[in-house]
Structure 1
Amino acid sequence: MEIRLGTRRSDLAIWQASHVADLIRGVEPAAEVRLVFVSSVGDKDRRSAFHQLGGIGAFTKESEDTLLRNEVDLVVHSLKDLPTKLQPGLVLAAVPKREDPRDAICGVTLSQLRPGLRVGTGSIRRKAQLLELCNGLDIRPIRGNVSPRLCKAKNRQGIDATLLAAAGLSRLGLLHEASQILDARVFPYAVGQGALAAEAREEDTALIALLQKIEDRQSRSEVDAERALMRSLDAGCSLPVGVSATWLAGTLTLRGQVTHPDGQRKITDESVGLADQADAIGRSLGHKLLQQGAEEILKAALRSVEEQRTI
């Protein structure tokens, strides 16, 4: 069985695609998995902020288009980049075991944050949550691959610190560069962060059946609940929504936080249910957050995004 696996060209994307390829070979030794490189809008434009690229789908749409054109059989994404609504004809076929979903700060620790400190991040969520912890930080937009961002923070090239996903650092053997792994109760992470998405065509039932063998049930339940929350809020991955999910004896607890872009207000709540009720857990949490005023905060975040797009 030959499988053409689409991936972006960054070191992290290649690691992730190769990891999924190895998982496939582990359950189907006869599988011949070949990487096919695809460029995304986010790869082609390294200067614009993420939300200026259109946010949702900036790193995934081209890969999905190659699937629909039958140029590849499967694409692997960082799940946090994947829109909650997939293109017609495509399915989230598998979610392998999730790595640590938390954020990592490099250059300083949270206790060392102070007004005027230059922190590089292109994430509206991270910016809002940082400002909530320390008003007066000098948040500077930064994008690009992991290593150059680390280098800028280490050498104080325009920034004193940066935030990255702990999972990405771990996958590249760079976790030692983190000054602190952030407690998700204090600094909730992005929806789907640390998880991988194996996306395929809905009609390819044999491939989907194979991919189900590499799926991790706990990871799938967590991300399904998180993505259901985002759908209920009608929020994209570029908006300031943070989550944390925990399992205990078959019960899933999903916590959510919506933070105003200026960091001056946040709304938090949680929903609990059986792990096989992930979608209902996410929708329930979304309803709770909306009742407390999350829509107003998300509208403010959207206005902030639109204003920055016109600069």
Structure 2
Amino acid sequence: MSEKKVIKVGSRKSELALIQTRHVISLLKEEYPDREFEIVTMNTLGDKVLDIPLPKIGEKSLFTKELETALKTGYVDFVVHSLKDLPTTLPEGMAIGAVLTREDPRDALVVHEKFKGCNLNTLPKGSVIGTSSLRRSAQLSRKYPSLIVESIRGNLNTRLKKLDELNKYSAIVLATAGLQRIGWYERISEILEPDDIMYAVGQGALAVECRKNDQEILDLLSPVYELETALKVLAERSFLKTLGGGCSAPVAVTCNLDSIEQKEDKHTKLTLKGGVWSLDGQIEIIDETSTYLSYTNNSKKCKNCPYKGKAKELSNYKTQTAGCSKRCSSTTEEEDVPKKKQKLEEVPIELLKEDPHEHCPVEIPIGSDFMGKCPYLQKDPEDVKKVLEDLEMKIPTQCPFKSASKEISTSQNEISPSVSEEDEYCGLVPHGKAEIQDFRDAALLGRKVAERMIEKGASEVMAKARATIHV
């Protein structure tokens, strides 16, 4: 690759996606100050299809298809993703060239101002918790039966605005990492520990996808590729791949990598805990096991750490990452100044109240979130009743446009890229400093936990969840 070549980086157009992409570029600029990077933005299928619930569209490549097409054709050189958005099997010729140091993978509770100081245990009985995640909903319903879980729609900014201004929700649950990346970590009322609410596979990690045979880009990415994160997310992705899970079933994990007293040539213990729930949380299947790796963390702990400069906030959040709950030795006084928070979108309260989704007479189950406004309710809310009358319907039990979901699903299947044979590492390129056996053992750990859960009936629980969502 010529040193003068501008490196084109693909990204979705959303604010959070651009923040993540710029973060990766900033780290690469530290390593390669003379290189030029250009962000190429585009909408994905998940951004374009606005009137169909996400699980009904199809799970694979929902937010990555167009970006991967641009990558395959050479229009961009690499793409930045939230790892949890990436399918466990990538299109042929594609690879995850790097995963960055994982940010906090846990979920966070954000409460309405009137409940400031409350947490999930102290919120009043009947408080409404907003989420559109099946995983969160199932666990919340199981562990906090006195609370009411309801769907909340919109991007992160919109959800925060709805919490603050609609007085409908007592609190909402979001990913800690997303709040941190967008500058709203100070809104966090409670970090939900994994023993309470397990997190999503890959949550908190950024992945850089590139062409598998593009060695120059792979070399370029190597300085930001974090081995400890790779070992954890490989076990998680192998677990999910073996289960055959996705966004239409409540599946969650926790994963830890701990130093141990040397056991022969082994230095660390990798532990994976997996969980599957029924949609109502009444059925729970959990399993946990460990493996031993030769991996030794000899690197400077906070190199490229996304928490750098936030020691005060992180100590309050009881971060998992060893060494980060106290002041980093490489942090300067200037870096202790919190990053300026992003402004929430200036959405008038009238528009939040008149959001067509809020007036739809069809109850949309949690996990069937919409990406935008449904054409069916594109008119003023006052016209909804007339629209229903014109359709000779009273209060429908399912969306009048339900048939379109089949067309979208068919279309998605037709444009899905071909995939290679079973990839032992779920798309990850082995880290240059990793023992290949460690990668194999991490992947095997994920498969082992999944297989033990399948023996306990996990497949049947997940099948029922999918059947309900795809009705």
1:81 and 2:85 aligned = yes
Question: What is aligned with 2:373?
Answer: none
Listed as ranges, the gaps of 5+ residues in structure 1 are none
Letter in 2 for 1:17: T
Q: For residues 172 and 130 of structure 1, do their structure 2 counterparts lie closer, same or farther at Cα, with a shift above 3 Å needed?
A: same
**Residue of structure 2 aligned with 1:279, choices 438, 443, 463:** 443
SS at match of 1:97: coil
Using the TM superposition, name which of 222-231 and 143-152 deviates more.
Answer: 143-152
1:219 and 2:229 aligned = yes
**Residue of structure 1 aligned with 2:54, choices 42, 50, 54:** 50
Paired with 2:177 and 2:138, the residues of 1 have a C-alpha distance of 21
Shift of 1:174: 0.4
Q: For residues 291 and 87 of structure 1, do their structure 2 counterparts lie closer, same or farther at Cα, with a shift above 3 Å needed?
A: same
CA contact (8 A) 1:89 1:203 kept: yes
CA contact (8 A) 1:38 1:63 kept: yes
Q: For residues 251 and 29 of structure 1, do their structure 2 counterparts lie closer, same or farther at Cα, with a shift above 3 Å needed?
A: same
SS at match of 2:90: coil
SS at match of 2:34: coil
**Residue of structure 1 aligned with 2:213, choices 173, 188, 203:** 203
CA contact (8 A) 1:125 1:238 kept: no
| TM-score, structure 1 as length reference | 0.93
Letter in 2 for 1:159: Y
Question: What is aligned with 1:165?
Answer: 175
Shift of 1:114: 6.0
1:154 and 2:164 aligned = yes
1:266-305 aligned at under 5 Å gives the runs: 266-275=284-293, 276=438, 277-305=441-469
CA contact (8 A) 1:4 1:36 kept: yes
Using the TM superposition, name which of 127-136 and 82-91 deviates more.
Answer: 127-136
Question: What is aligned with 1:60?
Answer: 64
Using the TM superposition, name which of 106-115 and 120-129 deviates more.
Answer: 106-115
CA contact (8 A) 1:167 1:194 kept: yes
Paired with 2:62 and 2:230, the residues of 1 have a C-alpha distance of 23
Shift of 1:46: 5.1
Shift of 1:2: 2.2
Q: For residues 233 and 103 of structure 1, do their structure 2 counterparts lie closer, same or farther at Cα, with a shift above 3 Å needed?
A: same
Paired with 1:280 and 1:200, the residues of 2 have a C-alpha distance of 25
Q: For residues 188 and 234 of structure 1, do their structure 2 counterparts lie closer, same or farther at Cα, with a shift above 3 Å needed?
A: same
Question: What is aligned with 2:349?
Answer: none
**Residue of structure 2 aligned with 1:255, choices 273, 277, 296:** 273
Paired with 2:50 and 2:131, the residues of 1 have a C-alpha distance of 13
1:115-154 aligned at under 5 Å gives the runs: 116-135=126-145, 137-154=147-164
Paired with 1:153 and 1:216, the residues of 2 have a C-alpha distance of 36
| TM-score, structure 2 as length reference | 0.62
**Residue of structure 2 aligned with 1:174, choices 184, 188, 192:** 184
Paired with 1:147 and 1:255, the residues of 2 have a C-alpha distance of 31
Paired with 1:234 and 1:103, the residues of 2 have a C-alpha distance of 23
CA contact (8 A) 2:273 2:288 kept: yes
1:21 and 2:185 aligned = no
CA contact (8 A) 2:248 2:466 kept: no
Paired with 2:199 and 2:133, the residues of 1 have a C-alpha distance of 11
Paired with 1:75 and 1:227, the residues of 2 have a C-alpha distance of 19
CA contact (8 A) 1:5 1:76 kept: yes
Count of residues in Structure 1 that have an aligned counterpart in Structure 2: 307
Using the TM superposition, name which of 62-71 and 3-12 deviates more.
Answer: 62-71
**Residue of structure 2 aligned with 1:190, choices 195, 200, 216:** 200
Q: For residues 56 and 178 of structure 1, do their structure 2 counterparts lie closer, same or farther at Cα, with a shift above 3 Å needed?
A: farther
Cα distance per residue 1:86-118 (max 9 Å; x no partner): 011100110010100000111152114566432
CA contact (8 A) 2:110 2:172 kept: yes
Paired with 2:8 and 2:17, the residues of 1 have a C-alpha distance of 15
Paired with 1:306 and 1:81, the residues of 2 have a C-alpha distance of 20
Identity percentage of aligned residues: 39
Q: For residues 283 and 84 of structure 1, do their structure 2 counterparts lie closer, same or farther at Cα, with a shift above 3 Å needed?
A: same
Question: What is aligned with 1:9?
Answer: 13
SS at match of 2:463: helix
Paired with 2:6 and 2:237, the residues of 1 have a C-alpha distance of 31
1:103 and 2:113 aligned = no
SS at match of 2:121: helix
Q: For residues 125 and 153 of structure 1, do their structure 2 counterparts lie closer, same or farther at Cα, with a shift above 3 Å needed?
A: same
SS at match of 2:141: helix
SS at match of 1:33: strand
Letter in 1 for 2:461: I
Paired with 1:26 and 1:289, the residues of 2 have a C-alpha distance of 44
CA contact (8 A) 2:252 2:276 kept: yes
Letter in 2 for 1:193: Q
Q: For residues 47 and 129 of structure 1, do their structure 2 counterparts lie closer, same or farther at Cα, with a shift above 3 Å needed?
A: farther
Question: What is aligned with 2:241?
Answer: 231
Paired with 1:4 and 1:297, the residues of 2 have a C-alpha distance of 43
